[in-house]
């Protein structure tokens, strides 16, 4: 068995164990689901010339500037609150608490501290997410003001919302403070475009970002021309995934779940690809992209790791494509991840900025391995050749995953 097959089997076993209390889950089966896989393959062939980020993001026409920054690793997503006023069946978390604004496990009591963080780690884009940002509208205003005062004028800022609390006065205020883009999850409002239309002409870029819900494909096809009339420049579709929180609702629907790093809905990916194909054939004047889990899990995480590592690593250290510190000395190889957390007195390394103090951590992702001369040669080749050749050997495959962002959507 090849190393990649062993890895995939380990994912299957882990997913099955993590969700053992839900015996009704319909896990992907290559024989039973052959028709779905063939349809997915046909759609991927159709979009083969319209792929970004090493084949993990199928798209039509264009993607927004915010999505470009995200893929390049220059995006900081700030969860401005943990509370939401909608009740979407696909939501992966409970979203019932108004927590401090957080990003990547860091909390920010002040807007000044967050702006300082954005500057220090050289992020070029910020997205206000939640929860529902309009539930804490004054907080959004405060953070947006501080970002505009302390950060580069080129900082691209967008906001996610379900639209329920959006009104014209609030939109104009956000526009006056320099909000570049607003993204509506119309799935939370039965696909109403009323608030989307309201934002047209106020916020420079209006986007709809929703999960690709399989049974809504035909409705979405009919809505696309209406979205264009409403001023939508881009439609972002992301993949439904199963969590223990949304399982009671999601499992009522006849979906097929793929055991990836997280359990994913196969029909959701197919729906997104179907909609892109439809838009391409209809020559619609709107950008559509599929924000796959593979893209999120690989590019978003690697990009963030790289931003942190490049700011904190020593000049002599090598940061690889995946954002890990590679230590290859003689015949010894190891990998570290550099991260920052809220300050912890137990950790000796710290980063002291004006408004906030952080702990700096170095975690051994792969501990020191002694390489034979033959293995050293193979590792050096693996590093220099890029991700095109996937090793069959289990150790080399683990090193390959440390070094490279796997290209293409996962194959079945």
Residue 51 has pLDDT above 70, yes or no: yes
Q: How far is CA 128 from CA 82, 89, 182, 314, in A?
A: 12, 22, 9, 31
The string of pLDDT tens digits covering residues 235-273 is: 999 999 999 999 999 999 999 999 988 999 999 999 999
Give CA–CA dist 294/378, Å, rounded: 27
Q: What would the two tokens of residue 239 be?
A: 């993949």
Question: Domain residue spans in the chain?
Answer: 22-302, 314-403
User: At the topology level of CATH, where does 22-302 sit?
Assistant: TIM Barrel (3.20.20)
Q: How many CB atoms lie within 10 A of CB 344?
A: 12
Structure tokens at 78: 């700030």
370-373 long-range CB contacts below 8 Å, 24 or more apart? Answer: 370/331, 370/332, 371/331, 371/332, 371/333, 372/331, 373/331
The answer to whether 252 and 14 are in contact (CB under 8 A) is: no
Distance CA 404, CA 45 (A): 24
Q: Confirm if 325 and 338 have CB atoms less than 8 A apart.
A: yes
**Looking at 174-178, 225-229, 406-410, which range is the least confident one?**
406-410
pLDDT at 294: 82
CB atoms within 10 A of CB 407: 16
- 295 has pLDDT over 90: no
Question: What was the pLDDT predicted at 267?
Answer: 97
pLDDT tens for 299-322 read 888 889 999 999 999 999 999 989
Q: What is the pLDDT of residue 408?
A: 65
Task: Summarize pLDDT for 97-112 with one digit per residue, the tens.
Answer: 998 999 999 999 999 9
Residue 273's nearest CA partner among 37, 12, 27, 8 is 37
In the DSSP assignment, the letter for residue 133 is G
Tokens of 254: 């006849």
Strands (E), 315-402: 318-319, 325-329, 332-342, 350-352, 357-370
Region 403-409 average pLDDT: 76
Instruction: List the structure tokens of 62.
Output: 């264009």
Write phi, then psi, for 161 (nearest 5 degrees): -155, 150
Question: Which contacts (CB < 8 Å, 24+ apart) does range 279-283 have?
Answer: 279/60, 279/61, 279/224, 280/46, 280/47, 280/50, 280/60, 282/224
In contact, 111 and 142? CB cutoff 8 Å? yes
């Amino acid at each position: 068995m090849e190393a990649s097959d062993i890895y995939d089997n380990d994912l299957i076993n882990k997913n099955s164990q993590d969700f053992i209390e839900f015996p009704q889950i319909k896990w992907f089966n290559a024989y039973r689901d052959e028709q779905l896989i063939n349809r997915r393959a046909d759609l991927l062939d159709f979009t083969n010339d319209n792929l970004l980020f090493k084949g993990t993001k199928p798209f039509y026409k264009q993607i927004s500037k915010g999505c470009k920054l995200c893929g390049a690793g220059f995006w900081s997503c700030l969860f401005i609150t943990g509370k939401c006023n909608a009740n979407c069946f696909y939501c992966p978390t409970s979203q019932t608490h108004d927590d401090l604004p957080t990003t990547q496990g860091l909390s920010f009591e002040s807007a000044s501290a967050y702006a300082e963080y954005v500057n220090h780690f050289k992020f070029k884009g910020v997205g206000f997410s939640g929860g529902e940002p309009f539930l804490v509208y004054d907080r959004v205003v405060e953070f947006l003001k501080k970002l505009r005062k302390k950060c580069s004028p080129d900082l691209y800022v967008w906001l996610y919302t379900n639209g329920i609390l959006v009104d014209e006065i609030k939109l104009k205020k956000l526009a006056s403070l320099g909000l570049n883009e607003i993204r509506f999850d119309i799935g939370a409002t039965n696909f109403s475009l009323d608030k989307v239309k309201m934002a047209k002409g106020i916020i420079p870029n209006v986007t709809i970002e929703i999960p690709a819900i399989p049974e809504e494909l035909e409705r979405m096809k009919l809505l696309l021309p209406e979205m264009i009339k409403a001023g939508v420049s881009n439609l972002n579709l992301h993949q439904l995934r199963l969590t223990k929180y949304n399982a009671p609702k999601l499992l009522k629907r006849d979906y097929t779940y793929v055991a990836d790093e997280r359990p994913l809905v196969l029909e959701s990916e197919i729906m997104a690809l179907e909609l892109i194909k439809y838009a391409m054939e209809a020559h619609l004047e709107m950008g559509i992209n599929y924000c796959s889990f593979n893209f999120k899990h690989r590019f978003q995480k690697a990009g963030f790791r790289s931003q942190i590592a490049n700011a904190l690593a020593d000049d002599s250290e090598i940061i690889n494509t995946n954002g890990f510190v590679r230590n290859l000395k003689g015949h010894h190889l190891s990998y570290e991840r550099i991260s920052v957390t809220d300050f912890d007195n137990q950790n000796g390394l710290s980063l002291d900025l004006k408004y906030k103090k952080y702990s700096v951590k170095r975690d051994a992702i792969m501990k020191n391995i002694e390489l034979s001369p033959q293995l050293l040669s193979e590792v050096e080749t693996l590093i220099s050749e890029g991700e095109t050749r996937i090793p069959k050997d289990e150790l080399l495959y683990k090193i390959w995953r440390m070094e490279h962002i796997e290209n293409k959507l996962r194959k079945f």
